[in-house]
C-alpha cells in the first residue's frame, strides 16, 4: 500500500484493519489476506495454524500436563531445551519471567549456542539422572540443533549408559529425521508439532506448552485463560489490542520511526528476545521492516533520535508508567504474570501478521536466514577455508579491500555511518562468560558514543534466526561488526568439540558472506584467542578507529 499522510494516522490505520476484516480472517485461517503475491499466498496456506491454538489445540493441554506431571514426579532438578530460534524463545521468555519471580522449580538451560565452551559450562556439575533434555526442531534437520544434540547425547550416554534415552524428549514434525532418530535411539517420548505452524508462531503449541508444564505452569488453566484473549484478537473492533498495537507500530514506521528500542528488566528480557525474533524475522525483508534493539533500561537512547521509539516491557509493577530518559514515543507492555506473558504472545502474533499485510511482505518465510545457513554449510564443509581461519583477522568492509588490516577495516566501516543508520555487533563468543559479555557491552557503549547512532548487541548463532533476517532483508541502514575467536581451550577438545567450534566459525563467516552478498557494510574480526585480553585489545583498537 502507498505510504501517504493518512497512513501515519493510528485511527485511520485501525479502521483499515477493521474494514478489511483482517483480525477475524486471521482467526479463521484465511490465507487470502496474503494474496499480494503468489508465493506469499502459498506460504500462508501452510502457516496459519497458530491463530486458534487456544480454541482448537492440536494436542490436548491436559495430556501435556499429565505427561509433565509424571516426569516432574521423578524429581527433576534441571531442564535443558536444545533448539534454535522459534523453538526456544517462548520457553526462554517464560523461564526468565518465572526465575525473576522466584517461582521456577528447577534450573532452566537454553542450549542454542554451538560454542563448545558454552555447552560445556551448561552441562557442568549437573546430575543427568535428575535432568530432562528436550530437543526441539520443526524440520528435524536444523544443523545447530542437531549438532548440539549429538554432543549432549554422547555426554549423557557416557554418564548414564542404557538409561540415558529416558532423559530425552523430542519435539518435531511428523516424518522428520529427528523423529526417526528418536525412535532408533529409544528416546522416551516424541511429540509431533503442527505442519502449519512455524517456529516463531508456536509459543502456545506443544513447542511452548511442554516446557511451560515442566516449569510448573498449569497449561490447562493457561490455555483456558488465554482463550478469551485469542477471541478478542480475532474481533474486527477498536477494542482489539492486536489492532491497536499493529496500527501504532505501522504509524510509527510510516512516520520514519523504524527502530524499536525494546526496554526490558530482568524478568522481561526473555520476552524481548521473543518479540525481536517475531518482528524482525516476520517483517525484515524486501527492504522493509522494523529493527528491534533489546536494551536493559534506557542507557543507549539519544535525545536527538528521530528514528526510534520505545516499547517498555516490564515484570516489575514499580516500573509500569515509567518514561524513557529521552523524549521519544513509547508504549508500556506490563508482564506481571505468566498469563500476561502468554497473552502478549497472542497479541503480538496477530499484530505482526496484520503489519505484514499492510507492508505486503510474507511473515512466514525467512529467505535471508536460509541464505546465511547455506553459506555457513559451504564453509563448514570446506577444510581449506577452516584451515585459514586464524589468518582471517579482518574481512571486507565495503568498499575497503579484503586484505585490509583490522584497523583499516574498522576505520573504513565506521567512516561510512550516515544519518538514520544503526550499528550491530554480532558476536560469536561465549554467552556464559561474564568477563567477555561485559566487555561486549562496553564495546557497544563505545560505538554508541563514538558514532552517535543506535546500536545492537547480538549473540551468535542465536541472532541468525531472528534479527539476522532483518539485517540482510531489511533496509540497508546497518553497519555490522562480526566478532568471532579461536577458542582458548581448543587444543584440549576432542573431535566432536572441534567440529562444533568449526561450525561456530562457519556460521560467523557464512553470515559475513550473506551480508556482503546483500552489499551490507560489514567487517568480520576473528580474534586470536577467546579471552578477556583479546577483547581488551579489540576495545583499544576500536577506540582508535572511531571518528
Task: Enter the DSSP assignment of 314.
Answer: E
pLDDT at residue 156 tops 80: yes
- With a pLDDT cut of 90, the percent of the chain lying above it is 72
The alpha carbon of 148 is separated from its chain's Cα centroid by a whole number of angstroms, namely 17
pLDDT recorded at residue 5: 47
Element (H, E) at 526: strand 521-527
396 pLDDT tier (thresholds 50, 70, 90): low
373 pLDDT tier (thresholds 50, 70, 90): confident
409 pLDDT tier (thresholds 50, 70, 90): confident
The alpha carbon of 39 is separated from its chain's Cα centroid by a whole number of angstroms, namely 24
Q: Position of cell 531442564?
A: 79
330 pLDDT tier (thresholds 50, 70, 90): confident
Local structure of 250: helix, strand or coil: helix
376 pLDDT tier (thresholds 50, 70, 90): confident
pLDDT recorded at residue 421: 94
Is the pLDDT higher at 245 or at 394?
245
pLDDT at residue 1 tops 70: no
Is the pLDDT higher at 398 or at 306?
306
pLDDT recorded at residue 310: 86
pLDDT recorded at residue 217: 97
pLDDT at residue 251 tops 50: yes
What span, in angstroms and rounded, lies between the C-alpha atoms of 357 and 32? Answer: 10
Largest CA distance in the chain: 67
pLDDT recorded at residue 388: 58
Give tens-digit pLDDT for 253-310.
Answer: 999 999 999 988 899 999 999 999 999 999 999 999 999 999 876 666 666 678 889 8
pLDDT recorded at residue 327: 77
pLDDT at residue 4 tops 70: no
pLDDT recorded at residue 406: 84
pLDDT at residue 447 tops 90: yes
The arithmetic mean of pLDDT across residues 146-172, rounded, is 96
pLDDT recorded at residue 3: 43
What span, in angstroms and rounded, lies between the C-alpha atoms of 284 and 545? Answer: 30
Is the pLDDT higher at 496 or at 393?
496
Whether 23 and 235 have beta carbons less than 8 Å apart is answered as yes
Whether 220 and 342 have beta carbons less than 8 Å apart is answered as no
pLDDT recorded at residue 402: 56
pLDDT at residue 6 tops 90: no
Q: What is the dihedral of CA 14, 17, 21, 22, to 10 degrees?
A: -130
Cis peptide bond prior to 461, omega within 30° of 0: yes
Kindly list the distances between the CA atom of residue 88 and the CA atoms of 42, 82, 93, 341, 423, in Å, as whole numbers in the listed order. Answer: 26, 8, 9, 15, 26
Number of H helices, E strands in the chain: 20, 13
What span, in angstroms and rounded, lies between the C-alpha atoms of 146 and 131? Answer: 19
The per-residue pLDDT of the chain, averaged, comes to 90
Strands 330-334 and 422-427: unpaired
Is the pLDDT higher at 69 or at 386?
69
Whole-structure pTM value: 0.94
What span, in angstroms and rounded, lies between the C-alpha atoms of 10 and 93? Answer: 29
317 pLDDT tier (thresholds 50, 70, 90): confident
The arithmetic mean of pLDDT across residues 15-37, rounded, is 97
Give tens-digit pLDDT for 415-439.
Answer: 999 999 999 999 999 988 889 999 9
pLDDT recorded at residue 303: 64
Element (H, E) at 456: strand 455-459
Is the pLDDT higher at 152 or at 494?
152
Amino acid at each position: 500500500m502507498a505510504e501517504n499522510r493518512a497512513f501515519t494516522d493510528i485511527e485511520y490505520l485501525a479502521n483499515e484493519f477493521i474494514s478489511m476484516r483482517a483480525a477475524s480472517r486471521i482467526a479463521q485461517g484465511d490465507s487470502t489476506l496474503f494474496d499480494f503475491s503468489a508465493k506469499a499466498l502459498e506460504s500462508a496456506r501452510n502457516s496459519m495454524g497458530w491463530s486458534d491454538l487456544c480454541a482448537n489445540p492440536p494436542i490436548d493441554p491436559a495430556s501435556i500436563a499429565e505427561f509433565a506431571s509424571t516426569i516432574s514426579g521423578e524429581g527433576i532438578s534441571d531442564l535443558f531445551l536444545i533448539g534454535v530460534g522459534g523453538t526456544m524463545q517462548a520457553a526462554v521468555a517464560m523461564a526468565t519471567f518465572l526465575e525473576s519471580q522466584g517461582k521456577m522449580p528447577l534450573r532452566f538451560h537454553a542450549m542454542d549456542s554451538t560454542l563448545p565452551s558454552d555447552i560445556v559450562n551448561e552441562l557442568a556439575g549437573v546430575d543427568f539422572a535428575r535432568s530432562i533434555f528436550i530437543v526441539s526442531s520443526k524440520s528435524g534437520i536444523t544443523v545447530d540443533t542437531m549438532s548440539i544434540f549429538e554432543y549432549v547425547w554422547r555426554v549423557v550416554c557416557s554418564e548414564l549408559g542404557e538409561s540415558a534415552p529416558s532423559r530425552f524428549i523430542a519435539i518435531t514434525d511428523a516424518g522428520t529425521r529427528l523423529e526417526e532418530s528418536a525412535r532408533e535411539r529409544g528416546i522416551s517420548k516424541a511429540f509431533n508439532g503442527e505442519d502449519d505452524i512455524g517456529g516463531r508462531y508456536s509459543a502456545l503449541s506443544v513447542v511452548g506448552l511442554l516446557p511451560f508444564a515442566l516449569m510448573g505452569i498449569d497449561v490447562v488453566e493457561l490455555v483456558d485463560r488465554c482463550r478469551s484473549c485469542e477471541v478478542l484478537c480475532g474481533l474486527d473492533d477498536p477494542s482489539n489490542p492486536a489492532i491497536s498495537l499493529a496500527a501504532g507500530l505501522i504509524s510509527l514506521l510510516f512516520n520514519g520511526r523504524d527502530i524499536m528500542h525494546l526496554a526490558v528488566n530482568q524478568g522481561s528480557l526473555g520476552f524481548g528476545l521473543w518479540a525481536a525474533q517475531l518482528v524482525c524475522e516476520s517483517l525484515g525483508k524486501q527492504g522493509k521492516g522494523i529493527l528491534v534493539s533489546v536494551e536493559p533500561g534506557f542507557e543507549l537512547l539519544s535525545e536527538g533520535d528521530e528514528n526510534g521509539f520505545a516499547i517498555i516491557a516490564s515484570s516489575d509493577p514499580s516500573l509500569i508508567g515509567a518514561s524513557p530518559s529521552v523524549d521519544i514515543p513509547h508504549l508500556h507492555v506490563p508482564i506481571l504474570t505468566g498469563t500476561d506473558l502468554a497473552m502478549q504472545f497472542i497479541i503480538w502474533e496477530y499484530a505482526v501478521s496484520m503489519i505484514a499485510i499492510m507492508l505486503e511482505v510474507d511473515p512466514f518465510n525467512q529467505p535471508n536466514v536460509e541464505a546465511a545457513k547455506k553459506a555457513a554449510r559451504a564453509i563448514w564443509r570446506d577444510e581449506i577455508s577452516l584451515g585459514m581461519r586464524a589468518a582471517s583477522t579482518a574481512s571486507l568492509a565495503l568498499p575497503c579491500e579484503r586484505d585490509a588490516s583490522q584497523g583499516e577495516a574498522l576505520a573504513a566501516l565506521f567512516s561510512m555511518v550516515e544519518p538514520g543508520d544503526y550499528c550491530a555487533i554480532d558476536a560469536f563468543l561465549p554467552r556464559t562468560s561474564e568477563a567477555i559479555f561485559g566487555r561486549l557491552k562496553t564495546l557497544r557503549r563505545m560505538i554508541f558514543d563514538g558514532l552517535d547512532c543506535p546500536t545492537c548487541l547480538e549473540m551468535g548463532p542465536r541472532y541468525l534466526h531472528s534479527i539476522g533476517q532483518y539485517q540482510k532483508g531489511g533496509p540497508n541502514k546497518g553497519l555490522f561488526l562480526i566478532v568471532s575467536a579461536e577458542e582458548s581451550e581448543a587444543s584440549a577438545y576432542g573431535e566432536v568439540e572441534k567440529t562444533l567450534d568449526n561450525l561456530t566459525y562457519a556460521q560467523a563467516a557464512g553470515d559475513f558472506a550473506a551480508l556482503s552478498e546483500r552489499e551490507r557494510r560489514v567487517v568480520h574480526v576473528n580474534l586470536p584467542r577467546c579471552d578477556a585480553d583479546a577483547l581488551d585489545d579489540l576495545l583499544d583498537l576500536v577506540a582508535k578507529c572511531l571518528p
